[in-house]
Each structure stands twice: as C-alpha cells, then as structure tokens.
Structure 1
Amino acid sequence: MNFIILLLPVLAIVLMFRSQKKRQQQQQQMQTSLEAGAGVRTIGGLYAQVKAVNEETVELEIAPGVVTHFTKSAIAAVLDPQEYDAIINGRPADDELPEPEAEDADEAPVEDKPLTLTKDSAEKGDAEGGAPASK
C-alpha cells in the first residue's frame, strides 16, 4: 500500500515532464519551419506576415510597409493562409458562411431599439425599456 502512495507522485512528475518536452519539440519544429509569406500570431496576440527569417529573429510585416523584428520564440502559431486571410480581412471561411434566412411575410419586423433609462421611464416603470422605480 505504501509503495503505491510513493509511486503515484513519481508517475505524475514523469508525465508532466514528458508532456512539457513534447510541447517544446512542437514549438521548436514550428520555429524551424517558418518561411517568408506565412501568416503568424505572436505570443502577444499580434497577427502579422513573415517577411524574412534570420538566425534568431523573424521580420514581421504588421501593416503595409511596417516591418518589425521579433525573436523566433515570440511566434505562438503559424496560421493557414485561409485562416490568416479571414482574420486580417474579416472574411469568414467558406464553411462558416451564414445561410440566408427566409423572411416570413406574416411576421412583423423586429425593431432594434436600444434600452434606455430616462427619468420619466424610471418613474413609470414602463415596458419599453424602463426599470421600475426604486422605493
């Protein structure tokens, strides 16, 4: 029984080190596979396009004509060209396009009226967006 109690923490530590090593290998592989023209996301959440890959740094174009230098370790992910285009240009991917909804003729159009709270509506407690008056 005591042997199992001692074995469990050791097993947990071994599994943690193994998963951490696997993540480090994936990160290293991603950094070595960087190439010019790829869309990337940095660890700070910045989306950019790779212009050049150097020994330890990467040149990223964050806006047309604006090139910055980042370390390779600052790259969190290399994006697919379609995913990068969808993020930068606001275009949804083909499989994410919303299907057009058919409008029923009998339904009245819903007005998108913002809810406001004015002095008059607070006193009345009307259903048009006012809150009941506090006592």
Structure 2
Amino acid sequence: MSLVTLLPFIVLIGAMFLMTRSAKRKQQAAATMRNEMAPGSGVRTIGGMYATVKEVNDDSVLLEVAPGVHALYAKNSIGAVLGDEEYQRIVNGADHSADEDIDTPVVPDDASSLTEADKSADASDDARIDLDKKDVEDAAPKKTDGESDAK
C-alpha cells in the first residue's frame, strides 16, 4: 500500500484520538466538580432545577429544592456547582453589586393584590360561550344539488 492510500486513515484515527481525549478531559472536570460539592453549595441539576446541597453520599446527593422539601438525586445528575453569589442571584433574584442599591418593589403573584375594578373586569371576562355542534353545522358550506354525500 502506498502512503497516499494510508493518509486518510491516519488523519481519521488522529481526529478520533483528539476527540476522545477532549471528552475524557470534560468527564474528569465534571467528576472533580461533583466531588468538590459540600453541604450548603448551590447546584443546578441536568434537568435545570436549582437546589441547595444538604448531604453528600458516595453516589447520591440530598438536595433541598424548597424550604423543608428534600429530594435524593444521583451525583451524576448534578450539572453544575454554583458559587454562592451566582446561586443567590439566580434563585432569589438578588444582585449584590455595590453600584446598584435600587430597591425594586415585589409584586405578588396571587390575586390578593387585585383592586375591585380588576375583579369586576375579570368577572365580565368569564361570560359563557356555547360550543354546541349547531355552530359548526351553520358554518359548514351548503351542499348544492350536484353534490352527493358519498366520496
């Protein structure tokens, strides 16, 4: 065999070697990050849930997803261990920068903050809509004498 014939195979093997090496580095970095987890750390799971680490075991992690709500996750399901500032910024919306001391008002998500005008406007939006089949039949095109029901 000539060198020209072997060159594409050599390049392909070299590219595969480089790709597996970088993937191995990423896996080692992820394993190191997971091993450095400690109780009190903020984490993001691979599903996108943010939680606080309560307990670290060999293959599992106990996370507090809300105050008093704990869930047991596999260590491999931790996508990122976040720094304290970043975790607080994401979860609580807290920005600890010194140049920005603006107090933003908190708007409740429930209906307790509605005024009487808002409540009456909401009540008028709840008018009943009749969805009987007769509406559909009236909207259907009328058949002419030349059309039949069979298709």
Q: TM-score range by the shorter chain?
A: 0.5 to 0.7
Residue from 22, 37, 40 that aligns with 2:40? 37
Q: Name the larger-Rg structure.
A: 2
Q: Please tell me the root mean square deviation across aligned C-alpha atoms, in Å.
A: 2.1
- Number of positions where the alignment pairs a residue of Structure 1 with one of Structure 2: 99
With normalisation by structure 2, the TM-score equals 0.60
**Amino acid in the other structure paired with 1:21:** K
Residue from 45, 55, 58 that aligns with 1:55? 58
| CA displacement at 1:5 relative to structure 2 | 1.7
Unaligned runs of 5+ in 1: 100-135
Unaligned runs of 5+ in 2: 103-151
Pair 1:77-2:43 in alignment: no
| CA displacement at 1:31 relative to structure 2 | 1.4
Deviations 1:82-104 (A, max 9, x none): 0000001112352895x9xxxxx
CA distance in structure 1 between the partners assigned to 2:68 and 2:38 by the alignment = 19
The residue aligned with 1:14 is 17
Distance 1:4 1:50, change over 3 A: same
CA distance in structure 1 between the partners assigned to 2:99 and 2:19 by the alignment = 36
Greater per-residue helix proportion: 2
Residue from 83, 88, 91 that aligns with 2:91? 88
